[in-house]
Structure 1
Amino acid sequence: MTSGTADSGRVRSGLRGAAWLLPAAIVLVALNFRGPIVAPAPVIGDIRADLGMTATVAGLLTTIPVLCFALATPFASWVIARFTAERAVSLSLVIVLVGTVVRSIPHEAALLIGTAVIGIGITIGNVVIPVVIRRDTSPERVGLVTGVYTSALNIGSMTTSLGTAPIAAAWGWPIAIAVWGVLALIAAAAWTYTVGAGAAWRGSDHDSEPLPVTGPIDQVLDTGSVRTATEQRAAVIETLPHPAKRWVTWGLMLAFGGQAFSYYALTAWIPTLLHDEIGFDTASSGASSSVFQILAVVGALGVPVLANRFRPRVIIVLVAFFWLAMPLGLLIAPQLWLLWSVLGGAAQGGGITIIFIVIVRLVSNDDDARRMSAFVQGGGYLLGSAGPLVAGALHGATGGWTAPLLTVLVAVLLLGVVGSVSARKVR
């Protein structure tokens, strides 16, 4: 290994100097990036009864954040480029906390406004965390840390699905929704400590070292000259086509959209479906739907292991195969909901993980990672935001769950077919 390469490995980021801190902090941060979205689902009946909300408006509580993931993505990308990635993560947590407090006010307008604020905060986190993982994690650990991150997303969803209804039964739904803001406070404290530890590590030994020039930068820069980090980034960006000009980015965006549509449609309506089809009460429906969330941990951690042995396109096909068990199973034998939730839950956790891994393997620098992450997630979540609304509208129009589940099935097929084609050249 050359001296320049060794230096590059040492100084890419101070955060890598405290390797165990970063994954731990990412876990705590990620708990806030899905839990607030699913929190209203277990108590949606109580909310509708208290505020007189229609089913369509109630569906907006899940749709609005996902729509923000799409529409606020350019803003999130600007925040990350304008400030540092570390500050962007902190800002996202503050915004989520503010939105959680506003949403707990028992008024329909406050509920919707708070939900939108939460969506904007999570959008910033959605875009910046993959950039942080790519930048501050060694290449051999990127897949594992990505899996840990996506696992934590689903653990957050599971925790709120399990805990919201019991808390609401004791203290009312506004308290049950507001209490999850504590997680944002804990995550903010942990992230601040982690960033401080990384800065201390970097400052103690490496402040005087120049920014290394490696990888694709070597092909476009005169390595004998001294350039600022901004000049180097600008030079690299000029050689890379915008994500919108790469067909593989569009394919990943559609695949991500199929994943997001299916996930949010089922997340929003599984409690109601189980109540209608099996007769579960509110608490039981919330607890049962948490199976779909927690089993995602298996897929999120299992996919990085498979990614070291198989090509991503093979894994995407496998994920889609198990994903299909969820809508098909609930159509054919809803009484076996536990089996379908296990298979579908593991698959949905693996689906988002493998797409993130493909993105990380495709990009060549931090700015490219930011732009591709923003493009894929922005367009994908725009499609995903329609999931709860479409499922709710079809259920309201037909009075049953056949049409909504068939729509989810089509979205899963989109993930499998388009995703596998897009990843065919990725090793």
Structure 2
Amino acid sequence: MGHRTEDLGAVIRGARAAARLTQGQLGASCGYSASAISRVESNKLRPEPSALLLMAEALGIPPERLCGSAVPHGSAVATVAGEWPSDEEDAVRRRELLAGALAAGATAVVGAETASAAVVSEDPTAALEDALFRLPAAEAVPLAVLTTQTSAARQTFRAARYSELGTSLPGLLAAAEATRHAATGRARQQAAAVLARAYVLTAELASKQHSDAAWVAADRALTAARSSGSPVPVGEASRVLAITMRRSGRWSPAVNLLTREAAELDPSKERTAAVRTTLLLTAAYSAATGGDRSAALALLDEAEEDTKRLPEVHGLFTVEATRAQVDVYRIGVLNALGTPDEGVQVASRLNIDFMSTPERRARAWTDTARMWHALGDVPQTFTALRRVEREAPQEVRRPALRALTSDLLYGPARVQGLREFAIRTGALAT
């Protein structure tokens, strides 16, 4: 008899860690994306029987452990297509993927028969996936009120209160859509900019949870941003769309989009310069995921030069573009390039405690944890993960960090407190 369905994710996660496979490597063996494997391991996606058979083969375990007594036949269906052949096809292929993402959003969050209620209820994007199909009814509100509400939502994100944000975003999106629809002229453009920010927040939250809703939200963010007539919302929306592209393995089109949008922004103006810097940083990391070291480091250096000229900027589209932020990205880039040892010196000069928000500090500790993990230093990795938890308890429950915790748990080294940490953060079911 196979494992109970609610235990399937833990079985796959443990076997993958024992086999020293990444989520991307396991996904490649059965036609799934790395984000889909993350959803499988968190019991939010039930693979096809044929995919389970391929997973078992890749993991080197008996098929019965995943499939029960039935031996499936047929081929697995890939969740993500190959690299886009050209930038010209970008819009068409993105629309196709959005259609698929909408369909996936309706079916990927499995019911009580395939996942524990505790796991599903903790997903901050659960309400968003439904809301993006049909927003709740809402009336237009004064633009000043809408701006205040959106600013508050952004502060919630920066504080890493993701469950609270996921609950509030459907109503905010509905009010913003209604307000833009009712407005005319300049007021309509301003409402579109606020709507773009709301969809950017939605895409950022969905990306953290490896949710397919990120595609839909990012596309809508860019549509709203372009109708606002302002370059700053366009830059921010382009950034979250590129992140979604990169997470699906399309790093080259992501770099092209980011550098093209960065070239459109005036580096001599404070607001556009800050957004331009974040686009360059995201492009650097995207290039690194594709193994393009020269492009990644050149983009990082360009972004670092920009930060020397940037004052602090305030407003709805406030963007953090500082030397510390560049250092965090540099660590991430070096991790992605397979040279984490080069990041140790960068980490030694980085004072994470001085970074501005819990979300930013948690992200910095996350990249530091990944660096130490790649270097095989389990105690330092665990220390960094505990700092993530201290800064933002909901951040450490993200699928990617639960997977990292699982890798430590099933590795050869034993660290005091790791098992309790894994249970507390959802990496190990009780």
TM surpasses 0.5: no
With a CA cutoff of 8 Å and minimum separation of 6, indicate the structure with the bigger relative contact order.
1
Q: Give the TM interval when normalised to the shorter protein.
A: under 0.3
What TM-score comes out, normalization by structure 1 length? 0.28
What TM-score comes out, normalization by structure 2 length? 0.28
